[in-house]
Structure 1
Amino acid sequence: MKITAINDRALVRLISETHFKPPVLRGLVDTDEEAAILADLEGETSARLIAEREGSPALDRRELVFARRAHDLKLYGQSHINAAFTYTRPTGNRFNSGDRGAWYCSYDTLTSAEEVGFHRTRELTYIGIFEDEARYVELLADFIGDFPDLGDAPTHPALTADPEIGYPAGQALAMDLRRDGHRALLYPSVRHAGGRCLVAFDPGIIQNVRPGARWTLRWSGSPTFVLRGL
């Protein structure tokens, strides 16, 4: 596998936009003070907050962003970075297992939309109803370094479209790369032809996180979604 040197800005990660909805717990109480108490209770089961306090078997709390900055120097994106590594699917994703997350991003919005849209479409397939609208916001981040690159290995098993095949192969590859000291991996998008992606294994290489554009993905009766800017 080749090693590629990059110094690239504004790689795109799409996350669900939730601030347009009222807090889920707010309807259970009458005052902001009571809401704060419930939020504290909810935090006792938050994977991110638990990892920030205690770490986990697969994640040393010192790797997380807050541990590298003074409390009065918190920057935008701190919680988003930590959440990417602490909230995971039980079976993991293409290049991370269920016990440790990763930061997935791409070089353009269309690629990121196809990636997140695939997962949402798969969830709609489970219930057999393709009527949905989801809002996403871009998180832009900069990266610099020398990283392994699957760009010249399009037939690598980790790039198999079927998650049942591609995910185990990708997780095994990521484990080997991390063991060898690599902090990220470049790879061609599986969901968007010609797209290029990066997965960061280490929170410490994610720089200058800031918000970007906002988008909606809409399904209107079929697995094909429409992407629109807000």
Structure 2
Amino acid sequence: MAPLADTDAALAFLEEIERKTSLRQNEDMPLPSDVRQDELLTSAYGYGWTYVNAAFCYTRPQGSRFNDGNRGAWYAAFGDAPKETAVAEVGHHLTRELDNVGRYENVTRYRELIAGFLGPFVDLRDQDGADYLDPVEESGHAAGQKLARELRGADLGGVVYPSSRRAGGSCLAAFRTTLVQNIRQGATWELTWAGSPEFAVAEV
């Protein structure tokens, strides 16, 4: 929101409009079939609670690697060079969307969110060749979603796994809202596509 405002007063005004009109910030957020109302966080949880709720409620119909369209998850990068891993992952998925429209002209800014997590998580990083780690989304995601349902059914909180988009990078997926802790803002990154699937990255 900050890039849209020239003054603190203007920023506060825009944030108030967002608060009143965004489903992410009120009780009317649509719930996917596998998310219960009592799982959603409230303002008492502190900064970032609306982002967590959105991660679990706003899903793609086909889901992602460790969640289907009926329930989201919180994805993050960690470990060695987490910013580079996060940018590689986000950039890959945005490029896929640009593939769909057939036009590689886009500028998107992302605000880094830093968080802690309550574990333990199931560690998949030593499982080379596992079907749920297949970088081809059409096959890897189906297997990953099946595994995630099994792990959630066993009351396990999430997984850590190797990044498919940056060699040596590590990612995690948290399966429950309350596992995401102490959220705060980090840097802002700008991703630019200028006519090809390759994108440039700059901190702004």
Partner of 2:156: 182
- Give TM-score scaled by structure 1 length: 0.76
Larger RCO, structures 1/2 (Cα 8 Å, 6+ apart)? 1
- Give TM-score scaled by structure 2 length: 0.85
CA contact (8 A) 1:149 1:187 kept: yes
- 1:205 Cα shift? 0.8
Q: Which runs of 5+ in 1 are unaligned?
A: 1-17, 23-31
Q: How many residues align?
A: 192
- 1:81 Cα shift? 0.7
How far apart, CA to CA, are the structure 2 residues paired with 1:48 and 1:137?
18
Structure 1 residue ranges, 4+ long, deviating more than 2 angstroms after superposition: 18-22, 46-52, 54-57
* Partner of residue 139 from structure 1, selected from 113, 116, 120: 113
* Partner of residue 86 from structure 1, selected from 38, 45, 57: 57
* Partner of residue 196 from structure 1, selected from 164, 170, 175: 170
CA contact (8 A) 2:124 2:161 kept: yes
1:58 partnered with 2:34: yes
Check 1:51–1:199 CA distance in 2 against 1; reply closer, same or farther (3 A cut). Answer: farther
How far apart, CA to CA, are the structure 1 residues paired with 2:140 and 2:24?
26
CA contact (8 A) 2:24 2:53 kept: no
CA contact (8 A) 1:51 1:61 kept: no
Within 5 A, what are the aligned runs for 1:43-192? 46=23, 49=26, 55-66=31-42, 73=44, 75-107=46-78, 108-192=82-166
- 1:222 Cα shift? 1.5
The structure carrying a bigger strand percent of its residues is: 1
CA contact (8 A) 1:47 1:87 kept: no
How far apart, CA to CA, are the structure 2 residues paired with 1:202 and 1:74?
14
| Percent identity (aligned) | 40
Check 1:48–1:92 CA distance in 2 against 1; reply closer, same or farther (3 A cut). Answer: farther
Q: Compare CA radii of gyration and give the structure with the larger one.
A: 1
